[in-house]
Structure formats: C-alpha cells, structure tokens
Amino acid sequence: MLAPAEQLPPALAEPRRAELVVAVHGGPAIDAGDAMRAGHRVGHDLGVTYPGRRAVVLLLSEAERAPLVPADPRLPPPEVPLLPWSHPGQSALEATLRAGELFDAAAVALVVAGGEEELGGGARHLLGPVVADGFDLACPCYATQRYEGVLATGLVYPFTRALFGRRLRQPLGYELALSRRAVSHLLGEAWQADPAHAGERLWLVSALLSGDFRVAQACLAVRPPRLGEAGADLAASLAQVVGLLFHEARLHAATWQRVKGSRPVKTYGEPALPSGEAGPPQLEPMRSAFQLGHQELQRVWSAVLPPQTMLALKRLAREPEERFAVDDALWARVVYDFAVGYHLALMDRALLLRSMTPLYLGWAAGFVRELSALPPEAVDPRVERLAHAFELAKPYLISRWRWPDRFTP
C-alpha cells in the first residue's frame, strides 16, 4: 500500500550522505509492517550505539517501486532516517553494496528481518568490528543446533577454511557488515573479475578472503528463520552452493595454493547456546540414497574419483547401519576430487554436481549418527576435527590440481 505523504514518519527525509548504512531485507515471507518494525529497532539501536554519527536504515524491496507503509503509532519516532529502498534485478547483497557506495558510507551492514527483538542488536554487533576496530568484513556466527546447517558444516566451512586459511565458521550467512574499502574492492576489481557471480555470498567472502582484508565474526544468538540452506530439491540446492564454491576455487587458485594451515579470526561476543534441540533426521533414507547412487552412478563417479576411493565407497555401501560412516580423510578427498573434476570439466558440470548428492547424503548419515551420540560440548570439537582433515588433505588437492594426469582415474 502506498501511504499518503502526511502519514509517513517525519524521519523519512532522505539524506545525501551517511556514515553508517544498514539494509534490512525481509523477503516474501515478511510483511511490510514487520519490516518497518524491524527497521525501527535497528534505527533505535544505531541511534543509541552511535550518537552523533549520521546513519540511515534502508528497507529493501524487490518491487519496481518500494511500497511505503504508514508510521506505526505504537512505535517511537526512529532515531535515524528509515527509507524504503527498491532494488529490482539486484540481490539484497548487491543493493547493500551499491547503497553504501551511493551514501559514501564508512560501514554498511545487511541484516534479515525475522521479527526478533534482537535484530537491532545483531546489526550493532556486526558493525562493531568494522566501525570500532577497522575490520573489512564481519560475518555472523549463529547459535545453531547440532543437526542444523549440515551442508555448511560438512562442506562449505572446511573447504573454505582449508583453501583460504581463515576459520570463518559460517561463511554462508545472509547477514554481514563491510568497510568502505571492502565495498570499493567488491564493486570494482572483484566485480570485473567475476561479473557472472558478483552479488553472491560466496563470491563476496572468497573475494575478500583471497585478498589483504581483515576479517572477523560476531556471535549472534538469533539465526534468521529464512536462512534455510536447502529447498525441496536437495540436488539442485547442493549443486548451486557447491558449484559456486568450486567456481571460486578456480578463480582464486593462484592464491589458495600458497596458503598453508589456517588461523582463527577474531570473534566478538560469546557463543550462545541454541534454545531447544530438534531430533535428528531419518538416517536410513539417507544411507539408502547413497547405496542407490553407488549402484547407478558408477560410470560418473569413476570418471572423477581414483580407484582407491571407488574401492572405499564400495566397502562403505556394504556396511550395516551401525557401522556406516565416511572417514573424514576420505570425505575430504572426495570433495577435492570433485573440485578438480569441476575445474577440468571432465563431464557436464551440472551432471557432475548433481551426482554428488548421494555422496553427500552418505557422509551426512554417518556424521549425524555420530553427532547424536555426543554431548553438546563435544559437537564443535568434532566439527573442528573434520575441518582439520580437510587441511591435512590439501596437498592432495594441490597435487591433483597442478598435475591431473598423474591422478587419472
């Protein structure tokens, strides 16, 4: 609904410049009223935390013309300007970058409106490392349940950590904060180097991790509900995420091949414990999907995986449920083999990526079963052991990448 001008909050007078820009992204699941209330909370928190600094809060909308909503009489006037911001044809991330450039902001942040009271605090926690300590990128580190985010835990985090040598726990977070220097690099050199994928989350993280940029993470208690990592079609979701991951590995190969080991990034705040815990997913369908894939995808897998890996997978397919588990070192080599296969285009890349789904489900079945037997305090150390296995296997990836003929399956 387009509100008459006299019904709009007086703080909607548009500034020309701002030191701090926070974009609030709601998405189709969040109505305009919830987005406005989220924007008010962010604006109030910015006004309290950074008094005297010129700031603006943008309510992102994918419509051609951002809809305006009447001011909520139950809310106090916002401490900073609250502006509807249309970004048709742009991702929320691109819209945030371009708004930061337009306002010549010293720091920008993107947060997700989920209706939580802690949202304003999330923006403040993400901006803190950039504004106060000069970091170029601040990513969230959410409190997650042990079975949540298995794709990021088992593939994105250890792969990114091994490649770039930074222990950024959740590089797929929709929320982040950036410095002016990072925004300029992303909209300039990084955009020109990879225009087809510019505006994606992994593009941004990879572009900054591969450069001389300071990276931190901020512990946030609330994980926005729209951050689900997989849709109804797991194969398509997995192919999309892993395809971009492998693409970025190709783009930055000259950089990551010189990186050894990993180092922690500065973490702000204390990790929060998740509230409640859902039960584990059903494991037998996941194991059955792996066994079926092993039967039907032999030709595809053998074009990518060396004979010793194929033999290990054959043995795994025969294991009973109580002993079914993919060894960390084996999983790391499988992921690296597929990264090399993607790099060399050994087959249609879409087919290659989708063929990873049974392998991922097989790994996830064993990993989830192991997590279910651990006490809460042992979950993170288990994830760290997995990530360390990817680091130990990195020389294998480099050798395969540089001299693929020596490893022809």
- From CA 253, how far away is CA 73, in angstroms rounded? 55
Do 225 and 288 fall into the same domain? no
- From CA 88, how far away is CA 95, in angstroms rounded? 9
Q: What is the pLDDT of residue 225?
A: 56
Residue 273 Cα to chain centre, angstroms = 20
**Six-digit token pair at 26?**
């709601």
Determine how β-strand 55-61 pairs with β-strand 20-25.
parallel
Do 191 and 318 fall into the same domain? no
Residue 394 domain-assigned (yes or no): yes
Residue 294 Cα to chain centre, angstroms = 30
| Residue 337: how many other CB atoms lie within 10 Å | 20
Q: Check which CATH number belongs to the domain holding 23 and give it.
A: 3.90.550.10
Do 198 and 337 fall into the same domain? no
Residue-wise pLDDT tens digits, 113-146: 864 545 457 889 999 999 999 999 999 988 777 7
Residue 251 domain-assigned (yes or no): no
Residue 244 domain-assigned (yes or no): no
Do 200 and 302 fall into the same domain? no
Residue 275 domain-assigned (yes or no): no
User: Please, which residues have CB within 8 angstroms of residue 174's CB and are 6 or more apart in sequence?
Assistant: 25, 92, 110, 112, 201, 224, 226, 227
Q: What is the pLDDT of residue 388?
A: 97
Residue-wise pLDDT tens digits, 56-85: 999 998 776 655 555 556 656 667 888 989
In terms of Cα–Cα distance, which of 319, 321, 314, 318 is closest to 298? Answer: 314
Q: What is the pLDDT of residue 91?
A: 92
- From CA 61, how far away is CA 70, in angstroms rounded? 16
Sole residue written with tokens 């059903």: 282
Sole residue written with tokens 């298995």: 150
Do 205 and 329 fall into the same domain? no
**Six-digit token pair at 87?**
């970004």
Residue 344 domain-assigned (yes or no): yes
Q: What is the pLDDT of residue 15?
A: 63
Read off the DSSP letter of residue 255.
H
Are 123 and 22 in contact, with CB atoms under 8 Å apart?
A: yes
Number of H helices, E strands in the chain: 18, 10
Do 215 and 319 fall into the same domain? no
Domain boundaries, position 308: 284-407
297-301: long-range contacts at Cβ-Cβ below 8 A with a sequence spacing of 24 or more?
297/355, 297/358, 300/347, 300/351, 300/352, 300/355, 301/355, 301/359
- From CA 368, how far away is CA 383, in angstroms rounded? 11
Helices (H), 137-231: 150-151, 157-164, 180-185, 191-193, 201-209
Q: What is the pLDDT of residue 9?
A: 42
Do 221 and 84 fall into the same domain? yes
Do 10 and 140 fall into the same domain? yes
Residue 147 domain-assigned (yes or no): yes
- From CA 356, how far away is CA 322, in angstroms rounded? 23
- From CA 31, how far away is CA 39, in angstroms rounded? 12
Do 167 and 93 fall into the same domain? yes
Secondary structure element (H or E) that encloses residue 402, with its range: helix 394-402
User: How many domains, the chain?
Assistant: 2
Q: What is the pLDDT of residue 164?
A: 98
**Six-digit token pair at 132?**
């106060």
Q: Which of 268, 294, 327 is the last residue of a domain?
A: 268
Do 308 and 172 fall into the same domain? no
Q: What is the pLDDT of residue 121?
A: 73
Read off the DSSP letter of residue 282.
P
Residue 158 domain-assigned (yes or no): yes
Residue 85 domain-assigned (yes or no): yes
Residue stretches of the chain with pLDDT short of 50: 1-13, 115, 117, 119, 227-232
In terms of Cα–Cα distance, which of 274, 273, 293 is closest to 285? Answer: 293
Q: What is the pLDDT of residue 87?
A: 84
Residue 215: exposure state from Cβ atoms within 10 A (0-12, 13-18, ≥19): buried
Q: Which of 241, 268, 295 is the last residue of a domain?
A: 268
Q: What is the pLDDT of residue 278?
A: 67
Do 109 and 36 fall into the same domain? yes
Q: What is the pLDDT of residue 62?
A: 78
pTM of the complete model = 0.89
Do 180 and 320 fall into the same domain? no
